[in-house]
Structure 1
């Protein structure tokens, strides 16, 4: 008959089983990968490649602004890109206090579409010390009261300094898209800004600025609609450039299709006359100028200062008109062939 276990042996066996299960559970928990939660109610609008491109653009932007600040403030500065991520606009808006000031810069894209401006906020401690150095101070104040408000003179200098900082935007994007800078606006109450809805996706670029012993941040908010429009123009430009890859007749048609809508000036020239300055000064109403051409002769049609056609002057629907008879370059080529 099998040996019967005592109560102490049974307890020891149960404890050993619990310990082994606990260690196994702990090891399993430690090996479990840590996944980042994804909000399916607010899906991401921009891919990692798009945000990586924006990061590269603003790394170039950081170098340009750092060079400008070194010259304006006569102090060494170091600017680096901390993060580039997609958020909702309310996350950017809620991070601003009542005393914060926000600058807006309109970007004029090649298609001249109407888009919301980019927004920029600079930390108060950094801006106060920048203004101090602009006025001849040392700019080493490390403690700024959260209730501090800018004076009228400081607001003027604020706009001036932010104009330099925002002005580098055009050069930073120049490798990808040609844009112009539009109107700059200063918003003293960011909560009143309503050109962007609270749930609209935006790209937030956070720059860390070190100005000697002072450290602060510059935050750039790019509206999702604006960024989408920029990406579409960049993609379209790439596709159009690809049209030049074929050779021969296909390349000719691709080039011609792009210039079809170009405006050209068409001018009809009746003839030429050469007068002295004395004759021109004595001209009056009723005088007749001899153009040295028979009245039934053809007149020339010029397209952007180049002669292209010859035709007869007449009337069409009670308006002066020219009936084209021949192309000038065809005539020239025919004469050359006869010779």
Structure 2
């Protein structure tokens, strides 16, 4: 409650105004500068800023895992980053989804509910094109998905479930399971329209193609663990350093990881009509000469140069040079 001024204080205030010690214009400007924020009672802000920040950290981890997985699985550079984290009513998000869409609905046991991952269709068609042997660079699709395409993407999303589990491990042990994939947003009503969701919007770049990925997390799903999403809990639960055993286990897994090594005899460029007319006995000239060294790739990167030969009645390649930095010209 405002304090009532005494008569002497009122006199002193009037005297200060008359003498110019107090500038009335400055007082008015201060009043004008005060900002008033609108509050929408139909869409209350239920998730605190530090809890949104924790969700961002969790999904940054998932995005890093998913990026690494896609890079190896598709054999193409993948870049990913979070663009925004905010909260909305579910119907605002659902109404903004294009049709057809690619919506993965995921059970989040033991939490009661589901999350939704929306990947833009141009990215999905790029992934499908890479899986079927294309380079994914010229995909211009604006149609619904075939059953075979949905089956391929169903496999991709199932492989992403352990990555989602690992990303949440510091907060809660979950067992995410892909429930279904929907292409029509109207059939993806995982919660009532007016319920609050946390929405994480991400950018995905696969080779030369870019698109969006949204992760929709209902408030009702995370309400039982809101305390664990506070900054205080997150930083107390997160280890700053790996233990010696954890570091050794990571090293062991890395050293036992199998990678593909390819020796390339050479390459060339031909027209489509020439490919269509190829027959048995035709000769294709490559860009390498007979005695040139061949490129030896690990994954998509050139790491060595070598000479082709025979060892124990099998084709072999002898390393003649190490390419220190490597290069990727796919």
Deviations 1:194-243 (A, max 9, x none): 441000000101111111211111101011111112325678xx7xx99x
Tell me if the contact between 2:161 and 2:177 (Cα under 8 Å) persists in the aligned partners. no
Question: What is the CA-CA distance between 1:89 and the residue it aligns to?
Answer: 0.3
Question: What is the CA-CA distance between 1:177 and the residue it aligns to?
Answer: 1.2
Deviations 1:53-106 (A, max 9, x none): 001111111111111011001011111111111111001110112311311110
Q: Could you list the runs of 5+ residues in structure 1 that have no partner in the other structure? A: 1-23, 243-339
**Structure with max Cα Rg:** 1
Which residue in the other structure is 1:202 paired with? 197
Question: What is the CA-CA distance between 1:188 and the residue it aligns to?
Answer: 2.7
Q: 1:102 to 1:56 in 2, by over 3 A?
A: same
Which residue in the other structure is 1:123 paired with? 120
Task: Please provide the CA RMSD for this pair.
Answer: 2.8
> How far apart in 2 are the matches of 1:186 and 1:91?
20
TM-score, normalised to structure 2, is 0.57
Deviations 1:179-201 (A, max 9, x none): 11234311232202344100000
Which residue in the other structure is 2:138 paired with? 141
Give 3-state SS (helix, strand or coil) of 2:199's partner. strand
Tell me if the contact between 2:54 and 2:229 (Cα under 8 Å) persists in the aligned partners. no
Moved more, 156-165 or 124-133: 156-165
Please point out which of 206, 210, 230 is paired with 1:211. Answer: 206
> How far apart in 1 are the matches of 2:58 and 2:169?
9
Which residue in the other structure is 1:107 paired with? 108
* Count of aligned residue pairs for this structure pair: 207
Which residue in the other structure is 1:72 paired with? 73
TM-score, normalised to structure 1, is 0.56
Which residue in the other structure is 2:153 paired with? 158
Question: What is the CA-CA distance between 1:43 and the residue it aligns to?
Answer: 1.6
Tell me if the contact between 1:177 and 1:234 (Cα under 8 Å) persists in the aligned partners. no
